[in-house]
A and B are shown apart, each in its own frame.
Chain A
Amino acid sequence: MTKSKSSGGFKFRRPGFQTSRKINAYVLLIPFLAGFFLFFAVPIYNLIVFSLSRVEVAEEGGMMLTFVGFENFVDLFMVEVSTANQQFLRVFADENMRIFMNAPIMVIFSLFAALLVNVKFRGRGFVRVIFFLPIVTGLPIVQSLLTVTTGADIMDASIADTFITTTIMSFLISYTFLPIALISFIATVAGEIFFLISNVGVQTLIFLAGLQSINPSLYEVAKIEGANEYETFWKITLPMLTNVIVFVIVYSFVDLFLDSPLANEVYAYGFLRNNIGMGASLSLIYMINVVLGLLVLLYAFRKVAGKHDS
């Protein structure tokens, strides 16, 4: 490509510097683009085709598609039930509730953890090691191996979850005047603290990297101008972290959807119940749900961030 050659009276000109650079950039991207085409673009097209048809095994082998329109989508919500015998509307509603509640808490919690390990104090190195431990111990397989499966969870729950929740609830009810709905929300979050902590390792890491990339002279200027640490946090740290927060929202949201039971439902339809059309329509709805939910979350974040700026 970079070598000029002439043959048969037809002259190739050596491409210019910028052109060859662009071509080389495409060459480096070939693996990813090939993968995108093979394992992303075509599969999405296939999903759409499957979801609009009844998929059967043809007599001479291979698949036979019969176009049925939106029958699969209608059946999915009106007729079919999940492996846990729940209607899919219910499954989706539950999942979205759980994820919309947990994602913002995870973002705030990881930001808090990152701020904590970013402060200079004695024993910081040791604390950092512990705070990044969830990257290792938060693996889904480790989590499932560490949960208590059997009769023991009566005993364990009394120590871990209910104990904390009931004490917190009784404390809040007797000493504060918060509405009951808010108190029960706090109690639920407190009960899930171990789940949250074990899932925010990477987010804390991203926030810490973001905090380190903020120019320290900004803080110096603020200090000279007489801002206190509270003001510095709202006026410098948070605005400088906007992009990082967006990335962490995306990461947490997608991560929460990844280990939702919907993934197993897709598998069950595709390969256990032999209903590929239904599985495809479920996958499509799952995908659309993730994208729409993310857009809503980011829109809400933009609103909040925008309000704070003005």
Chain B
Amino acid sequence: MIRKAKTKTSSGTSAKVTVARMRRERLIHGTMDGYYLKNQAKSIVGNILFYSLVVGLSFAILYPLIRVLPVVFSEFRYLNDPDVIWVPIQFSMLSFRAAIRVGFGNFTNMGLTLVYAAVIAIVQIVISAMAGYSLGRVKFPGQTMVMIFVFMVIIVPPPALLIPQFLRFAQFEVLGIVGLFNNGQPLNLLNNQATLFILSFTGFGVKQAIFIFIFRQFFKGLPLELEEAALIDGCGFYKTFVRIAFPMAVPAIVTVFALAFVWNYGDTYLTGYFHPDGPYLANSLDLLFQYQNMEHLNNFIVRIYNLPFSTSFMFDAIKHAAALVYLAPLLLMYFISQRRIVENFERAGIVG
């Protein structure tokens, strides 16, 4: 009777509790009976399966990065050797030097892109938090309508609106205001960094509608008492937002900043179409490592480094090295702040 009750409760508990129970049971029954052995076997097999799954998936995630390591660290002339799979015959940093030479220069582009991504991310946070706050905390007529607008912006892919947006920026004019400062002529904002800032100031930066949604969800989940207390203590609407609600939204802010920073750093759509001559690293690397450029780039490398011949493998090695250099600042930041970022991801309450 007692045994039966125990079997029922012991199924489906975490490993730690199971181990404790097994120890207790061994004390009670003295010897290792069948029940104990069965549980032990179950937990060992379960753990093996679980860990092999976790390790396997982790490997699959890291595989694209691991795969390029033997390529980028190999001497160019051994690249097409079919015997080499994981360990390069001769170790060399030449592909990194070449990648930095053709793609990064003295790293001004990378610095500018990092600053650009951070500034745009901050703008996106402020604008999205404002919209999210009023959508999540205040009841006003037309709120559902505005929410539908937000969802529409999330759903419609930006490339579908490229043509009219492009034409609008070619002759930028808002209610005749721009004309007042420009002799009655509309302004041509194409290939101008202002365009990118205008887009993120109006909530149309990279995936910004999703950020509005995240902030809305977060603010909706905050307790009502906080605002009441602030009101009683004499805080107005904006003061409550700036002093109370915004500082409390740290999880949402961290989440949105991480995502916005990464996405803006890697953005090739907005920068490519609205400011193609800008100093954006993702865009310039994208253009540089086009397939059509292979011949040209290989010749350049051969001449610069006095190589005997060039292969298509060399182009790939340089491209992969460029990808790793490009990723380096992001990975560095991610590994330094990963614990805080992941914790905040969890608490941001993206969908409640």
Contact = CB atoms under 8 A, between A and B. Distances in A.
Partners in one complex: yes
Size category of the B interface is 35 or more
B60 A193 contact: yes
Given A244-B351, A266-B163, A32 B8 contact: no
Interface string B144-165: 0010011011111111111111
Nearest to B265: A139
A262 interface: yes
B62 A130 contact: yes
Contacts of A20: 237
A31 B159 contact: no
A34 B316 CA distance: 45
Contact of A294 (B53, B57, B155, B273): B155
Interface stretch (B28-36, B89-97, B201-209): B201-209
B202 A46 contact: no
Interface in B5-58: 8, 11-15, 50-51, 53-54, 57-58
Nearest to A148: B316
Interface stretch (B104-112, B282-290, B299-307): B282-290
Contacts of A38: 168, 174, 202
B315 interface: yes
Nearest to A242: B351
B74 to A, nearest CB: 12
Contact of B138 (A21, A32, A198, A286): A21
Nearest to B241: A28
Contacts of B141: 22
A198 B268 contact: no
Interface stretch (A178-186, A250-258, A302-310): A250-258
Contacts of B181: none
Contact of A29 (B131, B294, B323): B131
A34 B202 contact: yes
B202 A134 contact: no
Interface in B311-352: 312-313, 315-316, 319-320, 322-323, 326-327, 330-331, 334-335, 338-339, 341-342, 345-352
Contacts of B162: 263, 266-267, 270, 283
A205 B155 CA distance: 20
A202 interface: yes
Contacts of B53: 116
Contacts of B319: 145, 149
Contact of A43 (B8, B161, B320): B161
B259 interface: yes
Contacts of A119: 50
B164 A290 contact: no
B73 interface: no
A100 to B, nearest CB: 16
B163 A50 contact: yes
Contacts of B338: 128-129, 132
B130 A39 contact: no
B167 interface: yes
B210 interface: yes
A228 B11 contact: yes
Contacts of A21: 138, 140, 237
Interface stretch (A4-12, A77-85, A167-175, A208-216): A208-216
A279 B165 CA distance: 13
A135 B262 contact: yes
A106 interface: no
A155 B152 CA distance: 44
A212 to B, nearest CB: 5
Contacts of A227: 12
A46 B351 contact: no
A50 B166 CA distance: 13
B60 A125 contact: no
A129 B342 contact: yes
A144 B164 contact: no
A70 to B, nearest CB: 18
Contacts of A120: 14
Given A116-B54, A148-B316, 7 more contacts: A43-B164, A125-B342, A136-B262, A146-B320, A212-B346, A280-B163, A287-B160
27 contacts: A22-B140, A24-B238, A29-B146, A35-B199, A36-B149, A36-B203, A38-B174, A47-B163, A50-B163, A116-B53, A121-B50, A125-B339, A130-B58, A136-B331, A145-B320, A145-B323, A146-B68, A149-B319, A197-B61, A209-B349, A212-B347, A213-B349, A258-B157, A263-B269, A271-B166, A287-B157, A291-B156
Interface of A: 2, 20-22, 24-26, 28-29, 31-36, 38-40, 42-44, 46-47, 50, 63, 113, 116, 119-121, 125, 127-137, 139-142, 144-146, 148-152, 155, 159-160, 193-194, 197-198, 202, 205-206, 208-210, 212-213, 223, 226-229, 232, 243-244, 247, 250-251, 254, 257-258, 262-263, 266-267, 270-271, 276, 279-280, 283-284, 286-287, 290-291, 294
- Sort A-B residue pairs by CB-CB distance and give the 5 closest, nearest first: A35-B202, A263-B159, A139-B266, A150-B312, A43-B164
